[in-house]
């Protein structure tokens, strides 16, 4: 039984297979319909807001012949304290698979362990694997082999998106720089476990200089709203804007997982100047997730 619980737990060969299959899914979309999920009902169980992940999974599962069931955990008994392992053992009797967005990483892991059906992490506080698969696919589509690229992540270096980038860099062997204030650096223990060529610094200009890709994520992730005022203060020097882009390679890509908060992690002009890349990146969520579904049921 395969699951996509994190980039950390994904084998390098599987990661590479999913990236290769993403290109095929994109190329063949709308042609000979693949019915990989025919007869299956997949649940999307979300405890946090979502636009891209929810809709791209609903579209992708249906394009592969499956049926989707969107469940907000607030409206389930989960929201009133029913344990994840009981929910998992019930839903596993009926469903073909589950796509889960929640807070604690242990919840998706426990669901996968008890449900007996393929389980996909659609974002937890720890990782956002589907996002990073789409990002890697986008980067390769635009720039070729990722091993030669230098990617600079700017902002909350301990966010789920940053952490998934760290595991991707360690597995695929490209240089990742993380520019973040000291209190927002990735945990040292995680960096030790990941290994790879990962440079963490508080010096944004140094991290941006010569980079092939500048990448950012929101300063205040879902679940951290109570820290918003402090985060705005602490992260104010870590915006992607024209002076930062100027330090990167000429023609460097600017990427953003979205949603974007203009004037915070990126300024409006930079976002619009790079909208072509950023919305291709968003589109690619669909193709990469269809590749994940193919890998998981294959
Ligand atoms: N990037 C991303 O996961 O977007 P949503 O929160 O809209 O799903
Ligand atoms: N780090 C962000 C990603 C949103 C797609 C969050 O968790 O809210």
Digitized pLDDT (tens) for each residue of the chain, 298 residues in all:
999 999 999 999 999 999 999 999 999 998 866 899 999 999 999 999 999 999 999 999 999 999 999 999 999 999 999 999 999 999 999 999 999 999 999 999 999 999 999 999 999 999 999 999 999 999 999 999 999 899 999 999 999 999 999 999 999 999 999 999 999 999 999 999 999 999 999 999 999 999 999 999 999 999 999 999 999 999 999 999 999 999 999 999 999 999 999 999 999 999 999 999 999 999 999 999 999 999 999 9
Of residues 40, 131, 239, 289, which has the active-site annotation? Answer: 131
Atom of ligand 1 at shortest range from CA of 56? 8
pTM for the whole structure: 0.98
Atom of ligand 1 at shortest range from CA of 128? 3
Query: Residues lining ligand 1, judged by CB closer than 6 Å?
Result: 50-54, 123, 131, 257-258
Kindly report the protein residue whose alpha carbon is nearest to atom 7 of ligand 1.
51
Tokens of 243: 């002076």
Instruction: Say if ligand 2 is within 6 A of residue 130 CB.
Output: no
CA atoms of 29 and 71, how far apart (whole Å) = 27
Structural domains for the chain: 33-127 (3.40.50.1370), 131-282 (3.40.50.1370)
Exposed / middle / buried, residue 249 (Cβ in 10 Å: 0-12, 13-18, 19+)? middle
Kindly report the protein residue whose alpha carbon is nearest to atom 1 of ligand 2.
221
Q: To test the ligand 2 pocket, which listed residue (221, 223, 228, 282) has its Cβ within 8 A of the most ligand atoms?
A: 221
Residue 106 contacts residue 127 (beta carbons within 8 Å): no
101 carries an active-site annotation: yes
Q: Where are the extended beta strands (E) located within the chain?
A: 41-46, 67-72, 97-101, 119-121, 150-154, 175-179, 198-201, 213-216, 253-256
Residue 174 Cα to ligand 2 midpoint, Å, equals: 23
Give every CB contact of residue 134 below 8 A, 6+ residues apart in sequence. 22, 281, 284, 285, 287, 288, 289
Spacing of C-alpha 173 from chain mean position = 18
128 carries an active-site annotation: yes
Question: What is residue 259's three-state secondary structure?
Answer: coil
Kindly report the protein residue whose alpha carbon is nearest to atom 6 of ligand 1.
50
Instruction: Say if ligand 2 is within 6 A of residue 162 CB.
Output: no
Atom of ligand 2 at shortest range from CA of 220? 8
Atom of ligand 1 at shortest range from CA of 48? 6
Q: Which residue has the tokens 């992260």?
A: 235
CA atoms of 7 and 1, how far apart (whole Å) = 17
Residue 206 Cα to ligand 2 midpoint, Å, equals: 25
Instruction: Say if ligand 2 is within 6 A of residue 245 CB.
Output: no
- Give the per-residue pLDDT at 34: 80
Give every CB contact of residue 106 below 8 A, 6+ residues apart in sequence. none
């Amino acid at each position: 039984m395969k699951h996509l619980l994190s980039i950390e737990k994904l084998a390098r060969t599987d990661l590479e297979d999913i990236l290769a299959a993403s290109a095929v899914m994109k190329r063949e979309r709308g042609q000979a319909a693949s019915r990989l999920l025919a007869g299956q009902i997949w649940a999307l169980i979300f405890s946090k807001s979502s636009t891209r992940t929810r809709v791209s999974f609903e579209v992708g599962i249906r394009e592969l012949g499956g049926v989707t069931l969107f469940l907000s955990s607030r409206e389930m008994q989960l929201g009133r304290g029913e344990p994840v392992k009981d929910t998992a053992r019930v839903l596993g009797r009926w469903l073909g698979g589950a796509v889960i967005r929640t807070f604690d990483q242990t919840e998706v892991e426990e669901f996968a362990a008890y449900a007996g059906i393929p389980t996909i992490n659609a974002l937890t506080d720890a990782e956002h694997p589907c996002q990073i698969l789409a990002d890697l696919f986008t980067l390769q589509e635009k720039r070729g082999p990722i091993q030669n690229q230098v990617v600079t992540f700017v902002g909350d270096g301990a966010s789920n998106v940053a952490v998934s980038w760290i595991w991707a860099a360690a597995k695929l062997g490209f240089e990742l720089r993380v520019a973040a204030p000291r209190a927002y650096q990735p945990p040292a223990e995680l960096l030790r476990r990941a290994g790879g060529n990962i440079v963490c610094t508080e010096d944004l200009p140094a991290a941006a200089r010569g980079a092939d890709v500048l990448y950012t994520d929101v300063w205040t992730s879902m679940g951290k709203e109570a820290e918003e005022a402090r985060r705005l203060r602490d992260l104010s020097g870590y915006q992607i804007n024209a002076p930062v882009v100027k330090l990167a390679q000429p023609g460097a890509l600017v990427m953003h997982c979205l949603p974007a908060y203009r004037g915070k992690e990126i300024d409006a002009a930079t976002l619009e100047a790079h909208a072509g890349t950023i919305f291709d990146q968003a589109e690619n969520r669909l193709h990469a997730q269809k590749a994940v579904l193919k890998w998981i049921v294959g």
